[in-house]
Homo-oligomer: A and B are copies of this chain.
Amino acid sequence: MLLEDSKRNSTWVDIYNKYTPHLVAVDSIIFGFADCELKLLIIKRDFEPGKGLWSLTGGFVGLNESMDEAANRILYDLTGLKDLYMTQLYTHGDVDRDPGARVISTSYYSLIKIQDIDTDHEMISNARWCPINELPELIFDHGKMVKMALENLRDEAHRKPIGFELLPPKFTLPQLQSLYEAIYQQTFDKRNFRKSILKMNLLDQLDEKDKENSKKGAFLYRFNEEKYKELLRQGFFFNIPV
């Protein structure tokens, strides 16, 4: 394969060619938020080893695509969504992690707005949004990958405004609170939560109310990205006490 690459200098290729190449995969940890629960998108694996077991969605990195491109392709194939919040997390390289072959796998995690998924998109029928508290056993080291992603999400969500990636563009404060309660698996005091969110001055209150959950209704808010960037430049830190 390397020898055929005409762009490369052949002497260099000889040096590199001494080494063993490895299959490299991307595994995608996809979080969504619905019914007041943090959920993970998992699929039933349809080939061996591990056929019929639950798994993250993944795929192999191709010859002419970057790691990030592979991760985006895999996410798009499953959800029809592009330009999502995605973070590379960790590369898992234990020799026997996949019983099928030596595969080095890089995990990425994404936060998606479940309601944005185009249900007409050919999302594979064996995918399922599973609440993180009810996860079945996952194949290989996928359980460990999810655990690391959750730790990372919890480490970040209180000091960076990434939680908004999981909400619709307009949301109520009770919705935002229930998101944070789902991420941190704890209840927050309503008044303190409102206070710490609003004092950061990052939410624009809209003239609309959501009346689905109460007669009186709850005001809708929108996260102001521009204001956040401006505050960041001034040395401000996002902070929700957890």
Contact = CB atoms under 8 A, between A and B. Distances in A.
Contacts of A88: 90-91
Contacts of A17: 101
Contacts of A2: 23, 101-102
Contacts of A70: 93
Number of copies: 2
A24 B93 CA distance: 10
Interface stretch (A30-38, A55-63, A190-198): A55-63
A136 interface: no
Interface string A42-74: 000001110000000000111111111010000
Interface residues of A, number: 44
B106 A19 contact: no
A16 B66 contact: no
Interface stretch (A4-12, A121-129, A212-220, A222-230): A4-12
A10 to B, nearest CB: 11
Contacts of A23: 2, 16, 19, 21-22
A94 B106 contact: no
A13 interface: yes
Nearest to A90: B88
A97 to B, nearest CB: 9
Given A100-B8, A100-B12, A100-B16, A66 B94 contact: yes
Contacts of A102: 2, 5, 63
A117 B23 CA distance: 36
B63 A104 contact: no
Interface of A: 1-2, 5, 8-9, 11-13, 15-17, 19-24, 47-49, 60-68, 70, 88, 90-95, 99-104, 106
19 contacts: A5-B102, A8-B99, A8-B100, A8-B101, A9-B48, A11-B48, A12-B100, A13-B100, A15-B47, A16-B23, A20-B60, A20-B63, A21-B22, A61-B104, A65-B95, A66-B95, A67-B94, A88-B90, A88-B91
